[in-house]
């Protein structure tokens, strides 16, 4: 299933970007670079984005595997 593979690649990329943002915001908080509240907000949104991306991936994967009968 080509569509399932494309969806996995897209969500893998999205999850990777979220993890990089989590690491970057943690780095900014630890080294106190820039505004601390801005870094905390960035961390919160990166975590929310990662959780949303992971849940969406699991839901879509379940739907595709149910429809395909795998």
Q: Where are the domains of the chain?
A: 2-68
Residue 8 half-sphere exposure toward CB, CA atoms < 13 A: 9
Name the burial class of residue 49, with classes exposed (0-12), middle (13-18) and buried (19+) by CB atoms within 10 angstroms of its CB: middle
- The answer to whether the predicted template modeling score (pTM) of the entire model surpasses 0.95 is no
Residue 13 to residue 68: CA distance in whole angstroms: 24
Q: What is the pLDDT tens value at each position of the chain, 70 positions in all?
A: 787 788 888 988 998 999 999 999 888 888 877 678 888 898 999 999 999 989 988 898 888 888 877 6
User: 19: which 2 tokens?
Assistant: 């993890």
């Amino acid at each position: 299933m080509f569509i399932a593979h494309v969806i996995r690649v897209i969500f893998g990329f999205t999850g990777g970007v979220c993890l990089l943002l989590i690491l970057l915001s943690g780095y900014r908080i630890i080294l106190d670079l820039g505004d601390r509240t801005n870094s905390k907000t960035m961390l919160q949104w990166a975590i929310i984005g990662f959780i949303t991306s992971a849940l969406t991936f699991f839901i879509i994967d379940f739907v595709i595997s149910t429809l395909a009968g795998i």
